Structure 1
Amino acid sequence: MTTILDTLQSLEDRCGLIPFITAGSPSLEGTREALKLLDASGADIIEVGLPYSDPLADGPVIQQASKTALQQGMTLDKLLQLIEQVSTEIKAPLVLFTYYNPVLARGISIFLQDIANAGIKGIVIPDLPLEEADYVSTLCFHLSLELILLITPTSSDVRINNIINKSHGLIYVVSSTGVTGVRNNIQSSMGEFISNIKSRTNKLLILGFGIAQVKQVEQVIQWDIDGVVIGSAFVKRLENPDCTEGLNDVRHFCLSMRKAVVKSSTL
């Protein structure tokens, strides 16, 4: 697999499509099939959520998916074993979304080494204290892991500048306040917020939280972002009791979103 930055920088006429799925939902085998299917259906990068018992940044859809996965015995070791097998079969770089406690419980250095060895190319830790980001960032850098820090609409100017300085080459902009989940609208003021960030840095920007519809993707790509993260809409489709039907729904949805990320100047 190529790196996350290489992947996004290679896209000339569109922004990157970044689906999110929860590992182990609806099953370990379902996750395996979903990763391969998303890769074949136009995903540029795939974000995989490690199930956690207290997912504070996640909305009800992903919370339920995490609960189901944990009840079925999903663990980090099982996910790493799966990634080791699948990462050689797909071209989309994989990003791990995890809370900080599982990282601390395993040991920061060991955790990062293990995910890098498995084939993970980037990591998002939404509750990583900024004061501890330097140590994690240094470890990630030496392991060729992209540490992706988050900027929210409520971040202060000082915090935004700190995140810009501590980020490797990619920053995750949260499109709304609150937890993840499907929303009907993305505030137009986000365009100004993104412009403000872009005026301070040349690092790449991806946008996520609440993006679930084609019209929203068509709206946000006008802000010249480099990638769109879509989570709950994919996770919900994978919850279908009929796994084959759910995967087919995911494929059609991914293909529709792939068409939506083409920038208007090329239409």
Structure 2
Amino acid sequence: MSRIQELFKEKNKEVLNVYVTAGYPQLNSTLTIMQSLEKSGADLIELGMPYSDPLADGPVIQASSSIALQNGMTIKKLFEQLNGFRNTISVPVILMGYMNPILQYGFEKFCADAAAVGVDGLILPDLPEFEFENEYGPIIKKHKLDFVFLVTPETTPERIKRLDALSTGFLYAVSSSSTTGKDQNMDGVSAYLQRLQGMGLKNPVLVGFGIKDKASFQAASQYANGAIIGTAFIKALEGAADVAASTEQFIRSVK
């Protein structure tokens, strides 16, 4: 059983997954923020690998990616920083990113290096289902990494079932067909989440996009196993003199 599966076995309500861009706000902030996230009560950490053209990300996360790239963050640098992180961090860690820089790094090498440092899974929004099944999925599985697909309110029931069958760890329910960071009407989202809840999916469901505070986190968690917060946390780190203290303050405000 993977760390992610163990997490959901122990806790299946109000699971908090927090997204942070690696190398933001400073190049060497990442590990400090991760340690503070765990200490403050985050259940899962989603590390964004900065990319110049992040299709699913809104302006705040795009800006954090640009700053991280300017700071000198690369996949190679990230793995160097993550080397030994399991000595201080026990919560599951997922890498979220896009195929282009991973293919440049070498897909098999990327999966091997991610597994070697203690990463638990991947979210790659631009990896299509067909290519996953026929080319990349077996490599991901070989290195014992979980893989998380995204579904939206427009995804057909048949396709939701298919992506649920292919996913391991959890299913990422995008609250709307927009980019990250947009405010959501949680009443409208609730109907969609109730629909997912009634489908008998094999994976737990975490809701992302538009979750920003205690109220939206609890509303999202009502019909799902928990939620993902990204943009609001990136905003909380912006200009932070002490990233550990800012992280702790933000997580405590949500939990």
Structure 1 and Structure 2 fold alike (TM over 0.5): yes
- The equivalent of 1:16 in structure 2 is 15
Shift of 1:230: 0.3
Structure 1, gaps ≥5 residues long: 259-267
Superposition pairs for residues 10-89 of structure 1, below 5 Å? 10-11=10-11, 14-89=13-88
Residues 30 and 243, structure 1, Cα contact 8 Å, conserved in 2? no
TM-score (norm 1): 0.89
- Deviating more after overlay: 127-136 vs 40-49: 127-136
Displacement of 1:152 in angstroms is 1.0
Contact in 1 for aligned 2:122/2:148 (Cα 8 Å): yes
Q: Which of 235, 240, 243 does residue 241 from structure 2 map onto? A: 243
**Alignment pair present for 1:4 and 2:25:** no
Q: Please give the per-residue CA displacement for 1:144-178, whole angstroms capped at 9, x wherever unaligned.
A: 21100100112123322221221124211101221
- 1-structure distance, mates of 2:157, 2:11: 30
Look up the match of 1:107: 106
Aligned residue identity for 2:89: I
Superposition pairs of residues 1-267 of structure 1, within 5 angstroms: 3-11=3-11, 14-134=13-133, 135-183=135-183, 185-198=184-197, 199-223=199-223, 225-240=224-239, 242-244=240-242, 246-258=243-255
Contact kept, 8 Å, 2:27 with 2:72, in 1: the verdict is: no
Equivalent pair of 2:186/2:216 in contact (CA under 8 Å): no
CA distance in 2, matches of 1:182, 1:130: 26
Q: Which runs of 5+ in 2 are unaligned?
A: none
8 Å CA contact 1:147–1:168 kept in 2: the answer is: yes
Given that 1:153 and 1:175 are in contact with CA atoms closer than 8 Å, whether structure 2 keeps it comes out as yes
Q: What is the CA-CA distance between 1:62 and the residue it aligns to?
A: 0.6
* Cα distance in 2 for residues equivalent to 1:79 and 1:251: 23
SS at match of 1:63: helix
Q: Deviations for 1:98-156, whole angstroms, at most 9, x for unmatched residues?
A: 11112222222121111111211011001111111113222222212110010011212
Please give the alpha-carbon distance, in whole angstroms, between the structure 1 residues aligned to 2:237 and 2:195: 36
**Distance apart, 1:88 and its partner CA:** 2.1
Q: Residue 236 of structure 1: CA displacement?
A: 1.3
Q: Distance in 2 between matches of 1:157 and 1:10?
A: 28
User: 1:189: how far off?
Assistant: 3.0
Q: Output the TM-score relative to the length of structure 2.
A: 0.93
1:264 equivalent in structure 2: none
**SS of alignment partner, residue 87 of structure 1:** helix
Size of the aligned set, in residue pairs, is 252
Cα pair 1:47 1:96 within 8 Å, conserved: yes
Once the two structures are TM-superposed, the CA of residue 182 in structure 1 deviates from its matched residue by 4.7
CA distance in 1, matches of 2:62, 2:218: 27
Pick closer, same or farther for the CA change 1:85–1:27 going to 2, 3 Å. Answer: farther
| Residue identity matched to 2:202 | N
Distance in 2, matches of 1:147 and 1:84, equals 21
Q: Is residue 16–residue 44 contact of structure 1 (8 Å, CA) maintained in 2?
A: yes
Question: Residue 243 of structure 1: SS of its match in structure 2?
Answer: coil
| Identity score, percent | 34
Q: Which amino acid aligns with 1:110?
A: K
Counterpart CA distance in 1 for 2:169 and 2:163 is 11
Q: Is the 8 A contact 1:182 1:212 kept in 2?
A: no
